[in-house]
Chains A and B, each alone.
Chain A
């Protein structure tokens, strides 16, 4: 186990800068998820920690040891790849014991570690099979087994669940989390799926355009997003945004006035973007008149999209509302839960 520290990490391909000075401290035993849209640099950052990608400048240390110039094999890390990267010509047992074999472990030592890892991951009956004889979930578990078998200081996961179907993803999510609870090893996990990030992480790092937008616990990011990007990225369905001018009685935006919390008073006369989580939308009497655009019942909750002035707003309701597309509805908001962002740069205002 070890802490990982990234100091002013930069990466350029020719004249194109893809990582712009990332600073990040990962505590010993922490489960950190790097999340962001495609092309934000999260996989590049992970690969630089692994040593599969060189850094243009900065410093990476694992367990207080600077590893900038070390080969992947000397960094004491293990990595789980998106496409599993299992060796097709080797059995599950050989795949799992391969790294130990090349580090000079004895046959009995290898067998012991492989059996230990197989026991943890439920792979014991599959040890003699080849990767082609396994399902996607089993292959994913073998890839994890290959990683845990030599007890590295840090585990790196590069979108490991993206090739699995939705149901299996939920199962494997739980398994990886349980594995972390059992091993207490530092894990860095890359995903573009914010649900994975929210459910698994001790700490989420939101990346955008090669920069860290915000890092913190899942609920910190959900409740206090540092800017409009993080607010829109974290949460599903994503946050609703309405831009307008703050007046004494609320936000005036394209013909509607949305009541604002008292803390908005100091922004009277300024252009502001407000953010409203879908679960903070209310259907109520004497509210703002809106028109229902879409009703999506999911059983345990219903997602309803309405047209409010020129804005399209999505709400999430536990109650089964009898609304139909095209019908009128009056809506309101949990005013205290409204987020305020600068209309210019999207930074959080309160």
Chain B
């Protein structure tokens, strides 16, 4: 039975929620507003929540000091390839682990999951050696291949497997009677129904690739091949000190597509994670 909240209780709940919101909203607010402030105003006391004077030239300087458009493109296309690749591999692997009976499938899945327990800092040196021998250092290949076959893909496989486990077996049996092969059942029945899970995998993977920091600084050395998180560190003055307002303008531009994608797709994201039994 639903009970109507009293105005007082409602005020208290919303008040608490507003207070809890502050640590999440304030950094974003500070980043966006500070990108329009002169440096002196960023460190003014008391802090200015809204800039006294709006300085739009910082955004121009972002593109003047670095090949920022190129770096933006680098991040975008790498994230796109990683997202599509991970969706493809994780959906097929997840389906196989969930629906195809083969010897030791559970044990193999456990071994795959163990990949999540190994921090990327542990594997980065051997990976660097490997890609050095393959002649792929200072290319984007490591940033594409490592996530597609690494931890993000393992997590995505887990998400997809949990979704496919919940898919009624009768749907597949009906499709078998209708004349579909295993692969067609996957593409025509299972995959279209897995849209919520695929959406959450896509968002998660895109975010992971977009925010990747350690791998780019290890594998890339030319500015025109940098990705955005790495590029942000390059906005420094002659003494190596950060150019705060320009860096915050670049950070705002970096965060913008992620925020937009998440706001549009958050319903699917939550739905997809709900299917996995994860709380997200």
Contacts and interface: CB of A to CB of B under 8 A. Distances in A.
A85 B170 contact: yes
Nearest to B189: A87
A81 B184 contact: no
B192 to A, nearest CB: 5
Interface stretch (B15-23, B58-66, B173-181): B173-181
Contacts of B177: 50, 52, 72-73, 77-79, 99
B171 interface: yes
B175 to A, nearest CB: 8
Question: Interface residues of B toward A: which range?
Answer: 10 to 19
Question: Interface residues of A toward B: which range?
Answer: 20 to 34
A82 B174 CA distance: 11
B214 interface: no
B246 to A, nearest CB: 48
Contacts of B180: 73, 102
A167 interface: no
A222 B94 CA distance: 51
Interface in A25-71: 50-52, 71
Interface string B111-144: 0000000000000000000000000000000000
Contacts of B173: 50, 52, 72, 79, 81, 85
Interface in B142-184: 168, 170-171, 173-180, 184
Given A79-B174, A81-B173, A89-B193, A99 B179 contact: yes
Contact of A81 (B170, B189, B193): B170
Contact of B193 (A51, A77, A88): A88
A103 interface: yes
Given A81-B170, A83-B170, A87-B171, A72 B193 contact: no
Contacts, number: 50
Given A87-B189, A88-B193, A89-B193, A102 B179 contact: yes
A79 B177 CA distance: 7
A81 B179 CA distance: 16
A130 interface: no
A116 interface: no
A98 interface: yes
A78 B177 CA distance: 7
A213 B170 CA distance: 29
Contacts of A86: 174
Given A83-B170, A85-B168, A85-B171, A98 B178 contact: yes
B179 A73 contact: yes
B178 A81 contact: no
Interface in A109-149: 146
A127 to B, nearest CB: 18
B50 to A, nearest CB: 48
B170 A73 contact: no
B176 A71 contact: yes
A149 to B, nearest CB: 10
A71 B184 CA distance: 15
B228 to A, nearest CB: 36
Nearest to B176: A72
Interface string B75-88: 00000000000000
Contacts of A78: 177
Contact of B174 (A77, A81, A102, A103): A81
A95 B170 CA distance: 14
Contacts of A88: 193
Interface in A182-203: none
Contacts of A89: 192-193
A81 B178 CA distance: 13
B174 A85 contact: yes
Nearest to A152: B177
A98 B192 CA distance: 15
A47 B66 CA distance: 66
A81 B174 CA distance: 8
Interface in A82-108: 82-83, 85-89, 98-99, 102-103
B236 to A, nearest CB: 52
Contacts of B171: 85, 87
Interface of B: 168, 170-171, 173-180, 184, 189, 192-193
Given A71-B176, A98-B178, A102-B184, 15 more contacts: A52-B173, A73-B179, A73-B180, A77-B177, A79-B173, A79-B174, A85-B173, A85-B174, A87-B171, A87-B189, A99-B179, A102-B178, A102-B179, A102-B180, A103-B179
25 contacts: A50-B173, A52-B173, A71-B176, A72-B173, A73-B179, A73-B180, A77-B177, A79-B177, A81-B173, A82-B170, A83-B170, A85-B168, A85-B170, A85-B171, A85-B174, A86-B174, A87-B171, A87-B174, A87-B175, A89-B193, A99-B178, A99-B179, A102-B178, A103-B179, A146-B178
5 closest A-B pairs (Cβ-Cβ)? A73-B179, A99-B178, A85-B174, A85-B170, A72-B177
